[in-house]
Amino acid sequence: MKFKLLLFLSLIFFIHSNAQSYIFGTVVSESGAEMPEVSVVNIRTDEMVLSNGDGHFMISGKVGDELRFIKAGYDRVVKKVSQENVQSPMNIGLVRSTIQIPEVEVKQGLTGNLKIDSKIYNKPKKVEKLLADLGKYMVQKSDPRILAAKPGEFVQPIGEGFVVGAIKDKWDDIDLMKYIRASLGDDYFTDLKIEKPLIDHFISYVFAGGFERKKILKYGFCSDEDLNRFQRFVLTRISSYRAAKTQR
């Protein structure tokens, strides 16, 4: 009887200690505003959720799990789950990433003003060369044959509002792929267990799955809302992508 009681209590303890709990919390910005569309990843389980419109999130986990909070334009935050986090909400603050703008060396070019250009070319020999080059340029005459149409070549008619062909998109899928990868960072994808050499392949897989991007490609502009929409779409494609890789 005692043995059965001990076995039962041991079973209860095992179930309790290994029971799956949930981590609740809120993600806010530096100013304290709730942040929606933040990716929350549990590294142990590979589960990923997005914070809602009030910045709240809920993800399965237990003490010792590592949670990562990722949003484009903000520094990534890594938080290890403690017993306190299981019992009470977890509050996370994100800080905007600091973008280092490299120095650009501005080189002075020819202005066409001899007085200004003469000061730049302060040595007499260079001033003489400048004057000589400008003099040669001014007396040259363009050969009209350069601008003439070649035999059989189409000549654009001159007329107000006349357009031949459709206007091309400013971006293609490769441009958008590079922008998304640079904006989200490779860590966003590696946290999803996508190896670095396969990141571009995975983004193409998401595109092929029906990610709407016509306006992005047309105007060559991807907004924060577009990035958030991409991350939501990733959640619908990541499982099938992993399954396809496993079957190979």
Does 74 have pLDDT greater than 60? yes
- pLDDT of 161: 46
Task: For residue range 184-236, list pLDDT tens digits in order.
Answer: 989 999 998 899 999 999 999 999 999 999 999 998 999 999 999 999 999 99
- Give pLDDT, residue 5: 41
pLDDT at 169: 85
* Contacting residues for 14 by C-beta, under 8 A, at least 6 apart: none
3-state secondary structure the chain: CHHHHHHHHHHHHHHHHHCCEEEEEEEECCCCCECCCCEEEECCCCCEEECCCCCEEEEEECCCCEEEEECCCECCEEEECCHHHHHCCEEEECCECCCCCCCCCCCCCCCCCHHHHHHHCCCHHHHHHHHHHHHHHHHCCCCHHHCCCCCCCCCCCCCCCCCCCCCCCCCCHHHHHHHHHHHHCHHHHHCCCCCHHHHHHHHHHHHHCCCCCHHHHHHCCCCHHHHHHHHHHHHHHHHHHHHHHHHC
The percent of residues in the chain predicted with pLDDT above 90, rounded, is 48
pLDDT of residue 92: 95
> Does position 45 have pLDDT exceeding 50, yes or no?
yes
Span 118-141, average pLDDT: 60
Q: Which of 82-96, 155-169, 193-207 has the lowest mean pLDDT?
A: 155-169
Q: Which one has a higher pLDDT value, 149 or 24?
A: 24
**Is pLDDT of 40 > 90?**
yes
Q: Could you tell me the pLDDT band of residue 4, with boundaries at 50, 70 and 90?
A: very low
Residue 42 has pLDDT above 80, yes or no: yes
107 pLDDT higher than 50:
yes
How high is the pLDDT of residue 15?
44
Q: What is the pLDDT of residue 87?
A: 84
- Write out pLDDT tens, residues 93-103: 999 987 655 55
pTM confidence score: 0.49
In this model, does residue 8 exceed pLDDT 50? no
| Domains of the chain by start residue, with CATH | 17-93 (2.60.40.1120), 114-140 (no CATH), 173-239 (no CATH)
